[in-house]
Each structure stands twice: as C-alpha cells, then as structure tokens.
Amino acid sequence: MVKTLREMTEQAEGLSSGHSLCAGCAESIIVRQVLHAVGQPVVVACATGCLEIATSRFPTTAWNVPWIHSAFENAASTISGVEAAYRALVRKGRMPEKNIKFVAFGGDGATYDIGLQWLSGALERGHRFIYICLNNEGYMNTGIQRSGATIQGTWTTTTPAGKVVPGKPEWRKDLTAIIAAHHIPYVAQAAAHAWKDLETKVEKAAAVDGPAFINVLSPCTRGWRYDPSKTMEISKLAVETRLWPLFEVENGVWRLTYKSTAPKPVTDWLKSQDRFGHLLRPENEHVVESIQRNVDREWAWLQRQCSLATVTA
C-alpha cells in the first residue's frame, strides 16, 4: 500500500521548490511527504505561519494544488467550508464526485493555542479532512516565542532564560491525546525523519470517512539553534529520547509504531540544541530532572493506553 521512494519521486509535487522556507526546515519535507501520500485531487488550507508566509508571497505561489489561507486560527473551519461546499455541490449535481481529499496545515501555535477551538469544532462535526500539525515547538514565524507545545526549560524570546526564571516554566499540553479524546477515526504522532511511518499514517488518514489528525514534529533550525544539516538527526533523537513517541490511535485503538530498544536520556536531546544551553549549567539540574520525569510519565501513560487498547480491542 505504501508508496516506494521511487514512486514518490516520480509524482508531481504539490509544493514546488522556490519557496522561501529556511535551509534545514523540516516543514517543506513533511508537506511534500504528506501530499505524496494523499495524492491528487487535493485541496489544501493553511493557517498563518512559516509555511503559509514562505510559500505564498503575491504574485508568486509555491502551490501546484488548490490552496487557501484565511487567518491564523481557522484553518480547520476554512477547510470545513471547502469540504461542505464539495458535499453540497455534488449532492446538488453541480459537480461530479471526484474523491477530492482535504488537508489543513497549521503550526503548533495555530493548533495547540489559538486554533484549538476551531479544530475541535471541525472534528466534532465530522468533516472529512486531514489536519496536519507542523509542530516546531514554538511560534517561529514571528520570532521564537513560546507556545503550548514548548517544553519546560526551553529558551524562547517570551520565555527567556534569565537570572531568576530558567526558560519556560511549564511543561507542554498533550495535544495528540486531547484530539484523540474527540474519538475521531484516526489520530497519530509522527516525525519528519521517519518518512515511511509518516506516509503510512497519512495514507490511513486519507482512507477514513471523517476527520483525521497527525501531529508531526518539525525541527526548526532557527528556533532550536542547531546546524541546518542536522534536521533529520535531531528529529530522530526526539524519538530515541522518548520526548516524541511515534504512535497512532486508529478507531480508538492506541498503538506504538516505533519502540526503541535502547532509549536515550533527555540530556542527549538537550545537548543537541542551543535553545537548551542554559539547562546544562549545574544550577538548572532540577529543570533537566523535571523534563526527564515528564517524559517518563508521558511514556508510562502512553504504554498504559496502548496495553489497554490491546485488551479491549
């Protein structure tokens, strides 16, 4: 079922080269993988953010597929409108059934924070669309600010590491679990480096009759402060340290799609990016310990979800 790399390279690109995303940005890689897996015909909606800004400066566009940007918070309801229009026009006999797929892309700011209500409403209404969260753990389009996806201790320009406060005080919200609680047909977490895993998940998402959501970790060379050549390494490290587990929730059944035999400590992840530089100082050891505890707690919770699902499935 999953397309091979060769098949992918032979497909037309939905997102063309020539956009202005940063060197080393994972977003264009993820978007191209997603569009390859979804196939055509497709209509794409984008929230305001890096991807939107870097691909749509008038009078140019990097999109070879129908594409709409409305505002920061409302990609989910905008694509709901497109999907509703399609349903209405087919029902009224004004256009033929074309099996068009609908995809919305939003950054973590547009998804975890400002757009959560719009996404929740669209999921509850059951529109047939795939929502992809391009999660680079912060507001990276307007600088490097904290979001609900930013983990504790992270340096950002709105949670600077100062003399009194060592970076962001709070942990992150578990958005994927919040979305899973909507009991939609398909929910998953994925990462840029694991292309086959991502592609499989997108194909499953595209096949369901209803909403689907995939939260994809998208390393950001500017915001995370690492060398642009290291994007895939960093992405892999997030999974190996269990900071970003890969899993899916298919019709309510939770399942890990990757399990490392030798998990790495979160310090490996923290050392790989300058945004965590201050955490490696002795006085911030307690923050690192707290991060490890949060990662372990979430991992244990995820394990329980997966084992429960196996029992009840």
Partner 1 sequence: MTLKASERRRARSATGRAVAINGATLVAHAMRQIHPDVVACYPITPQTIITETFSEFVANGLVQTEFVAVESEHAAMSVCIGSAAAGARTQTATSGPGLALMWELLWVASGSRLPIVMHLCTRALSAPLNILCDHSDVMGARDTGWPILFSEDGQEAYDNAIQAVRVAEHPDVLLPVISTQDGFTITHGIERAEILDDASVRSFVGEYSPHRPLLDVEHPTTYGAWDYHDFYFEHKRQQADAMEKALGVIEAVGQEFGKLSGRSYGLVQPYRLDDAEFAVVVLGSAAGTLRSVVDDLRSRGVKAGMLRVRVLRPFPTKAVAEALAGVKVAAVLDRALAFGAPGGPLFEDVCVALTTNGVGPRLVNYVYGLGGRDTLPAQFLQAFEDIRRIAKGASAQPVVRYLGLRES
In the complex, the residues that contact partner 1 under the rule CB under 8 A are 40-43, 45-46, 52-53, 56-61, 63-71, 73-74, 77-89, 91-92, 94-95, 98, 100, 117-118, 120-122, 124-125
Cβ 45 to partner 1 shortest distance, Å: 7
Judged by beta carbon, residue 51 or residue 238, the one nearer partner 1 is 51
Residue with Cβ nearer partner 1 (114 or 288): 114
CA separation, residue 179 to residues 54, 85, 207, 215, 223 (Å): 28, 25, 18, 10, 26
- Return d(Cα 278, Cα 285) in angstroms, integer: 10
Burial zone of 258 (CB within 10 Å; 0-12 exposed, 13-18 middle, 19+ buried): middle
Q: Of 123 and 243, which CB lies nearer to partner 1 in the complex structure?
A: 123
Q: Name which of 144, 145, 254 is nearest 189 in CA terms.
A: 254
Shortest Å distance, C-beta 102 to partner 1: 9
Work out how close the CB of 120 gets to partner 1 at its nearest, in angstroms, rounded to a whole number.
7
**How distant is the alpha carbon of residue 59 from its chain centre?**
28
Q: Which of 50, 51, 66, 207 is nearest to 128 (CA)?
A: 207
Q: How far is the CB of 301 from partner 1 (least distance, A)?
A: 28
CB of 158: closest distance to partner 1 in angstroms? Answer: 22
Minimal distance, residue 146 CB to partner 1, in Å: 23
Cβ nearer to partner 1, comparing 101 with 242 = 101
Query: 120 vs 257, which CB is nearer to partner 1?
Result: 120
If the CB atoms of residues 61 and 267 are measured against partner 1, the closer one turns out to be: 61
Residue type at position 55 = T
Residue closer to partner 1 by CB (options 69, 278) is 69
Q: Reduced to 3 states, what is the DSSP secondary structure of residue 39?
A: coil
How far apart are CB 147 and partner 1 at their closest, in Å? 20
Bridge-based pairing state of the strands 247-250 and 186-191: antiparallel
Cα–Cα distances in Å, from 52 out to 15, 40, 106, 237, 293?
A: 11, 20, 9, 27, 36
Q: Exposure string (b/e) for 85-95, b if CB count within 10 Å is 16 or more?
A: ebeeeeeeeee
Q: Which long-range contacts (CB under 8 A, 24 or more apart) does 144-147 make?
A: 144/222, 144/223, 144/275, 145/109, 147/108, 147/109, 147/112, 147/113
Cα–Cα distance for residue pair 144/18, rounded to 1 Å: 24
Q: Shortest approach of partner 1 to residue 42 CB, angstroms?
A: 8
- The residue (of 19 and 236) whose beta carbon lies closer to partner 1 is 19
Q: How far is CA 265 from the centre of its chain?
A: 23
